[in-house]
């Protein structure tokens, strides 16, 4: 470097990537360790070891296939492994526990491994297929969002396929030589005591609980339905907020102030001073707070500011999250408050996130009359300013500048003067005329000829301006044209052939949905009635979100129908698919309560977690319902089959839910900003599985019996109708 010149790394995106990948990786490793500990305490060590190894095999196989599917190892693809962890564990546990159970019953050997895998092959296979279908819509999305969701679908599908191969072709081979344990060491004896304790609990406590739930089946179903209705009410009433994308906090705060064209440079310098004073005040406040209440007193490592005629920017580099006293959101909010309003700015943006840019609320007003658009825009802006939490309310009409319109006076044509010629001469005088270009090393230099700066600074110079006519005479400008000072429009935007104005507002504290709902329901209809012909639509983030949800809703309609048809064909029933798919709304119920407990807003990622939770619980429901059907084929009554199936499948159902929840605990407990954007999906998956555990153990058996009641009642009703119809025909002398 030359003397006096230094190079400083201002921001390195690789640091963010390494930090977040490290957070996800550490949480995944710790979660896998916790899963292994749960399994080794509740299953034989050999089963626990190979089940855990099966998870690693499924993940390694998926890693090997990523390049062939054009998926890189990034934050989203790594996050997909975290989501699919519960489903992969579920398959391995169900198959491994079934082999364990059959080996214990048959005395071990390859026959026990084969029989154990075969018994659960049908429900596990269809569970994996339905889970793939559940995540398939994210692969077919269009637009920029597909670049993110496509990777999730590919990773999850690959992991499920390989886990299915591992569970039925590799895991049984590893467990084929499992025998009864003759001699038990201290740990083995302790582990067997825990294992037998779970079995004893299912045979005694759970048997009595499920029997009671079936006896009071309608009350049991009512309890769960009530819980679901309450969760819908909690979500729709705003107790749990919704943000389309979770906020991923950055380590840099960007402030961008856009100014109207023609703004004096002195005004830009004044705004620059305003930003710098706010930054200094923020540092002083943090240091004073640290002295009074303790803390590091560190917040800002450095800042960069720049002013130009058309705008001012400030880039604030924050200290690392581990040592600073405020989060990026808190620092940006306070900095915005200290900066205050800049009334003459076209747009102001204070951004502290890596993925949410621009205003949260944006409306498009359309009308053929510009005056109507101006008035409607002012009314809407005034309404938005009445809400607490809205700031920097703007429309894109700002930036208009005064213009001079020249209109040719009557009779001026007789002097040989045309308006185009007058306009050309005025432009030459004030803007300049290019007369020469001088070649230089870095490009040509234009030589412009125009009036001296002193004569171009004020409008008084127009009084002395002379226009040259075609015959060479010079006449005063004001003798041939009328000069009118008007407001000029720098650009005209149209949508569907009509002029449009965009009104936008930034919103704080997760109030976007509440404010948008109130404006849409109470104010926009009134505005349309006030200005006839006015059309109002959404723009920006809101428009993109509406398009996204309409598209994903259509795709999921096809997905749910495919899942229903697949399960209906497999089990030859129209009712059982509905029973099995209760996992989906119950996963939503658990997700809402999980977000409520942790005080986290739901986001698009939450639905990924709900889908993953549904995959786990659909597997459990399929295994349970399949066993009920096989027990009924053996001659058991409905109640006996349901109770026996619940008791038999209690341990694998319990383990799949517990291992999924425990495996996600490390990232749920993570406090760093790197993990915050993952929290919605993790909470949805963890609590969706946790709540759905009770759905599988109690609600599904109750609903199964209710379905049989309805079936029996309908048969009795048909028989009764036939009897009444037959007796009536006999009375008429007609044999039936």
How many of the other CB atoms lie within 10 Å of CB of 129? 18
DSSP codes joined into one string, 331-383: HHHHHHHHH---TT-SEEEEEEESS--S-SEEEEEEES-HHHHHHHHHHHHHH
Give residue for tokens 């002013």. 307
Task: Answer whether residue 19 shows pLDDT above 80.
Answer: no
Alpha-carbon distance 666 to 34, whole Å? 9
How is residue 289 written in tokens?
A: 């707070």
Tens-place pLDDT, residues 306-335: 888 788 988 888 887 777 778 888 888 888
Alpha-carbon distance 683 to 691, whole Å? 12
Q: Which of 293, 384, 383, 391 is nearest to 340 (CA)?
A: 391
In the chain, % of residues over pLDDT 70: 93
In the chain, % of residues over pLDDT 90: 4
Looking only at the bridges linking them, the beta strands covering 481-488 and 401-408 are antiparallel
Same domain, 129 and 109: yes
Tens-place pLDDT, residues 477-513: 888 888 888 776 666 677 777 788 888 888 876 677 7
Contact assessment for residue 622 and residue 563, using Cβ atoms and an 8 Å cutoff: no
Residue 374 lies in a domain: no
Give residue for tokens 């391995």. 92
Task: Answer whether residue 695 shows pLDDT above 60.
Answer: yes
Alpha-carbon distance 96 to 579, whole Å? 25
Same domain, 457 and 562: no
DSSP codes joined into one string, 105-150: HHTSSHHHHHHHHHHTHHHHHHHHHHHHHHHGGGGS--STTHHHHH
Same domain, 204 and 292: no
Residue 390 lies in a domain: no
Looking only at the bridges linking them, the beta strands covering 347-353 and 249-258 are antiparallel
Task: Answer whether residue 225 shows pLDDT above 50.
Answer: yes
Tens-place pLDDT, residues 257-280: 888 877 888 888 898 899 889 888
Alpha-carbon distance 477 to 475, whole Å? 6
Same domain, 301 and 342: yes
The half-sphere exposure of 604 on its side-chain side, counting CA atoms within 13 A, is 17
In the chain, how many domains are there?
A: 3
CATH number at residue 169: 1.20.1640.10
Task: Answer whether residue 219 shows pLDDT above 90.
Answer: yes
Same domain, 27 and 83: yes
The reported pLDDT for the residue numbered 229 is 92
Task: Answer whether residue 285 shows pLDDT above 90.
Answer: no
Same domain, 112 and 145: yes
Residue 187 lies in a domain: no
The set of long-range contacts for 139-144, using a CB threshold of 8 Å and a minimum separation of 24, is: 140/555, 141/548, 141/551, 141/552, 141/555, 142/551, 143/544, 143/547, 143/548
Q: Which residue did the predictor score with more confidence, 222 or 399?
A: 222
Residue 730 lies in a domain: no
Same domain, 217 and 274: no
Please return the burial class of 84, using the count of CB atoms within 10 Å of its CB with bins 0-12, 13-18 and 19+. buried
Residue 606 lies in a domain: yes
Residue 440 lies in a domain: yes
Alpha-carbon distance 258 to 312, whole Å? 7
Alpha-carbon distance 632 to 627, whole Å? 9
Alpha-carbon distance 368 to 375, whole Å? 13
Alpha-carbon distance 198 to 603, whole Å? 37
CATH number at residue 448: 3.30.2090.10
Alpha-carbon distance 527 to 375, whole Å? 10
Same domain, 434 and 408: yes
Alpha-carbon distance 668 to 88, whole Å? 20
The reported pLDDT for the residue numbered 501 is 86
Same domain, 173 and 70: yes
Domain boundary among 353, 386, 415: 353
User: How long, in residues, is the chain?
Assistant: 736
Q: Which of 130, 63, 24, 59 is nearest to 619 (CA)?
A: 130
Task: Answer whether residue 522 shows pLDDT above 50.
Answer: yes
Task: Answer whether residue 736 shows pLDDT above 50.
Answer: no
Tens-place pLDDT, residues 331-390: 888 888 888 888 888 888 888 887 666 788 888 888 888 888 888 988 998 999 888 888
Task: Answer whether residue 732 shows pLDDT above 60.
Answer: no
Please tell me which of 176-185, 287-296, 678-687 the model is most confident about, judged by mean pLDDT: 678-687
Tens-place pLDDT, residues 45-58: 888 888 888 888 88
Residue 498 lies in a domain: no
Task: Answer whether residue 399 shows pLDDT above 60.
Answer: no
Residue 265 lies in a domain: yes
Same domain, 468 and 577: no
Same domain, 413 and 298: no
Rounded to the nearest 10 degrees, the angle between the axes of helix 650-669 and helix 186-201 is: 110
Q: Which element (helix H / strand E) includes 718?
A: helix 700-731
Cβ within 8 Å of residue 291, ≥6 positions away: 297
Q: List the domain range (segments joined by +) for residue 274.
A: 249-353
How is residue 343 written in tokens?
A: 């009334």
pLDDT band with cut points at 50, 70 and 90 for residue 731: low
Please return the burial class of 162, using the count of CB atoms within 10 Å of its CB with bins 0-12, 13-18 and 19+. buried
Rg over alpha carbons for the chain, rounded to the nearest Å, is: 36
Contact assessment for residue 293 and residue 377, using Cβ atoms and an 8 Å cutoff: no
Tens-place pLDDT, residues 177-214: 776 666 666 777 787 788 788 888 888 899 999 999 99
Same domain, 232 and 292: no
Contact assessment for residue 389 and residue 507, using Cβ atoms and an 8 Å cutoff: yes
Give the mean pLDDT of the chain. Answer: 82
Alpha-carbon distance 128 to 165, whole Å? 11
- The CA-based angle 254-257-260, given to 5 degrees, is 160
Contact assessment for residue 242 and residue 349, using Cβ atoms and an 8 Å cutoff: no
CATH number at residue 338: 3.30.70.1430
Average pLDDT over residues 651-660: 85
Looking only at the bridges linking them, the beta strands covering 474-476 and 311-318 are unpaired
The reported pLDDT for the residue numbered 491 is 65
Contact assessment for residue 318 and residue 331, using Cβ atoms and an 8 Å cutoff: yes
């Amino acid at each position: 470097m030359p003397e006096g010149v230094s190079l400083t790394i201002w921001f390195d995106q690789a640091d963010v990537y390494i930090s977040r990948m490290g957070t996800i990786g550490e949480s995944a490793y710790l979660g896998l360790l916790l899963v292994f500990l749960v399994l080794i305490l509740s299953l034989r060590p050999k089963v626990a070891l190979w089940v855990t190894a099966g998870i690693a095999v499924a993940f390694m196989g998926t890693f090997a296939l990523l390049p062939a599917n054009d998926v890189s190892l990034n934050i989203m693809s790594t996050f997909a492994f975290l989501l699919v962890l519960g489903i992969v564990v579920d398959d391995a546990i169900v198959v491994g526990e079934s082999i364990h159970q059959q080996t214990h019953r048959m005395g071990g050997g390859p026959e026990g491994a084969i029989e154990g895998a075969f018994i659960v092959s049908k429900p596990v296979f269809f569970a994996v297929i339905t889970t793939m279908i559940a995540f398939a819509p994210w692969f077919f999305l269009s637009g920029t969002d597909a670049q993110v969701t496509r990777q999730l679908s590919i990773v999850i599908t690959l992991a499920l396929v390989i886990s299915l191969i591992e569970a039925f072709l590799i895991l049984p081979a590893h467990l084929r030589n499992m025998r009864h344990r003759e001699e038990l060491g201290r740990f083995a004896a302790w582990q067997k005591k825990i294992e037998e304790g779970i079995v004893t609990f299912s045979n005694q406590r759970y048997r009595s609980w499920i029997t009671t739930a079936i006896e009071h089946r309608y009350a049991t179903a009512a309890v769960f339905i009530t819980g679901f209705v309450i969760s819908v009410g909690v979500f729709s009433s705003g107790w749990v907020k919704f943000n389309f994308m979770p906020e991923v906090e950055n380590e840099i705060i960007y402030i961008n102030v856009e100014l109207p064209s023609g703004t004096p440079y002195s005004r830009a310098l004044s705004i620059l001073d305003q930003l710098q004073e706010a930054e200094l005040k923020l540092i002083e406040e943090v240091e004073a707070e640290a002295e009074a209440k303790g803390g590091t007193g560190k917040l800002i490592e450095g800042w960069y500011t720049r002013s130009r005629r058309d705008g001012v920017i400030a880039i604030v580099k924050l200290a690392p999250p581990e040592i600073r006293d405020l989060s990026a959101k808190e620092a940006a909010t306070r900095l915005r408050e200290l900066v205050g309003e800049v009334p003459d700015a076209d747009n102001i943006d204070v951004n502290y996130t890596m993925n949410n840019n621009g205003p949260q609320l944006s409306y498009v007003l359309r009308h053929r009359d510009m005056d109507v658009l101006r008035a409607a825009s002012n009314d809407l802006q005034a309404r938005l300013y009445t809400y607490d939490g809205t700031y920097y309310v703007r429309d894109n009409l700002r930036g208009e500048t005064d213009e001079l319109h020249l209109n040719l006076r009557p009779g001026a044509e007789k002097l040989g003067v045309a308006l185009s010629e007058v306009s050309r001469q005025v432009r030459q005088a004030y803007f300049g005329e290019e007369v020469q270009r001088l070649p230089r090393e870095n490009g040509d230099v234009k030589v412009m000829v125009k009036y001296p700066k002193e004569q171009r600074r004020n409008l008084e110079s127009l009084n002395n301006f002379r226009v040259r006519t075609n015959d060479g005479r010079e006449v005063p400008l004001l003798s041939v044209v009328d000069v009118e000072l008007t407001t000029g429009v720098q650009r005209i935007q149209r949508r569907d052939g009509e002029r449009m104005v965009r009104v936008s507002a930034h919103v704080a504290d997760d109030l976007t949905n509440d404010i948008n709902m109130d404006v849409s329901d109470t104010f926009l209809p009134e505005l349309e009635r006030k200005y006839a012909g006015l059309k109002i639509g959404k723009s920006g983030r809101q428009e993109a979100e509406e398009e996204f949800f309409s598209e994903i809703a259509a795709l999921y309609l096809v997905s749910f129908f495919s899942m229903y048809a697949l399960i209906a064909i497999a089990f030859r029933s129209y009712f059982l698919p509905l029973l099995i798919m209760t996992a989906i709304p119950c996963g939503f119920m658990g997700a809402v309560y999980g977000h409520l407990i942790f005080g986290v807003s739901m986001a698009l990622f939450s639905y990924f977690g709900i889908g993953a939770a549904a995959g786990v619980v659909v597997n459990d429901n399929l295994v349970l319902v399949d066993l009920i059907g096989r027990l009924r084929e053996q001659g058991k009554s409905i109640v006996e089959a349901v109770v026996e199936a619940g008791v038999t499948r209690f341990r694998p159902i319990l383990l799949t839910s517990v291992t999924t929840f425990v495996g996600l605990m490390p990232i749920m407990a993570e406090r760093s900003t790197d993990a915050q954007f993952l929290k919605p999906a993790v909470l949805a998956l963890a609590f969706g599985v946790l709540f759905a555990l009770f759905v599988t153990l109690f609600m599904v058996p109750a609903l199964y019996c209710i379905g049989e009641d309805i079936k029996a009642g309908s048969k009795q009703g048909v028989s009764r109708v036939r009897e009444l119809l037959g007796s009536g025909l006999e009375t008429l002398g007609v044999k039936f």
